Amino acid sequence: MEAPKYDEDIENWQSPTRDYLAEEKVADETLTAERYTELTFFANIAIFSIFMVISCYIFAAILPNFLAVLLAIASSYYLLQVSKQAIKILLSHIKK
């Protein structure tokens, strides 16, 4: 709902109803949830990339490059899954 542009329109302007405000609140919460989902997605990519670089560097020092990259991908994915579970457990303990 837009506010009236001219002073004469103030008498005809209706204030927002409860239904309208509830719909706006739901729309805002939906947008916020979408933003959190996007943020989580990009955070997971960043964490995976960091694990990938570190593990590739370590494995490349002791293994041939091809094996180092394959092991780095596998270990990075595993570390990402473990860290996500650890964060969930930590948050559940904090909430209690």
Task: Tell me what percent of the residues of the chain surpass a pLDDT of 90.
Answer: 1
- Pull the structure tokens for residue 48: 């995976």
Tell me: the pLDDT tens digits for 35-57?
988 888 888 888 888 888 898 88
- What lies within 8 Å, CB to CB, of 71 at 6+ separation is 55, 59, 63
pLDDT at 8 > cutoff 60: no
Per-residue pLDDT band for 4 (boundaries 50, 70, 90) equals low
pTM here? 0.60
